Amino acid sequence: MTIHLQPPTSSPAASTPDAADVALKAKHATMWGLGDYPAVARELIATLGPVVVEALDVKPGQRVLDVAAGTGNAAIPAALAGAVVVATDLTQSLLDVGRAAAEAAGAHLEWRQADAEALPFPAATFDTVLSVVGVMFAPHHQASADELVRVCRPGGRIGLICWTPEGFIGQMFAAMKPFAAPPPPGAQPPPLWGREEHVRLLLGERVVSVSAEKRTVAVTFESGEAFRDFFKRTYGPTIVTYRFIADDPEKVAALDDALAELGRSALDHQGQMEWEYLLVTATRA
């Protein structure tokens, strides 16, 4: 069974985007292609995909959409569970890595470049719609939430994993904020998706049986400096922040110190960090 791309129907987000939005999405696509995000997905958070697949009880034959799928941390486990899966992302290079990983794992699914705020599918196409630390980075939260709901059939399931503002990744973004370029008008901070009340407000009365639970994923680093250097090398948002201050050595040194200290403060005596996330599941009304 193949799910073919079609122009979206009944979607406000499907209207022609303005030039500023096109430019913003191009910047996002480029940012996530910098460094080596596949290493982050593979080495640090590979377990998160199976968590949401299990929470949603994905079954053989179900039509599943993974939004902002990256390299397929959730899409591949869903396909291995027998679902008919489409993985979408704004960054084509991540989808290319995911396609190769799926082939190596014996998983069969579709990979499509798409904007989370204007998904190219008709309404009510999927039984299950999910995203793992992905859709939270789309700049306009309500637009992407509307799309998650729109493409899910009535009675279908929606599942999200998002970093919390209070957790380690939320703290990392807070540490980088003073050094980063100002966000464009209308863009909202990604960690807001890690607040239950924010997600409930975004999804509104269009969903029922909402469940929200804070959990953690264990991540290992040798030191705070090792964490900092790994993210400077692999993680698009961190790379972009350093590029923004590259001409100011004092700011670079200050950000170096801030990230290393953050890493040190989170490490226990065994070299582990616990990164907090919010797992949300809901049923389309």
Contacts of 156 (CB under 8 A, 6+ apart): 124, 126, 127, 128, 129, 283, 284
Q: What is the pLDDT of residue 9?
A: 42
What are 260-281's pLDDT values in tens digits? 999 999 999 999 999 999 999 9
Taking residues 162-179, what's their average pLDDT?
Answer: 98
Taking residues 71-94, what's their average pLDDT?
Answer: 98
Rounded Cα gap, residues 120 and 143, in angstroms: 14
Q: What is the pLDDT of residue 208?
A: 98
Identify whether the C-beta of residue 116 lies closer than 8 Å to the C-beta of residue 68.
yes
pLDDT of residue 30 exceeding 60:
yes
Contacts of 37 (CB under 8 A, 6+ apart): 70, 71, 94, 234, 235, 236
Write down the mean pLDDT value for the chain: 95
What's 17-218+276-284's CATH class?
alpha beta
Rounded Cα gap, residues 249 and 245, in angstroms: 8
Q: What is the pLDDT of residue 215?
A: 98
Provide the 10 A C-beta neighbour count for residue 214.
13
List % helix, strand, coil for the chain (3-state, nearest 5): 45, 20, 30
pLDDT of residue 89 exceeding 80:
yes
Q: What is the pLDDT of residue 3?
A: 54
Provide the β-strand partners of residue 158: 129, 282
- What letter would DSSP give residue 118? B
Structure confidence at residue 15 as a pLDDT band (50, 70, 90): low
pLDDT of residue 6 exceeding 90:
no
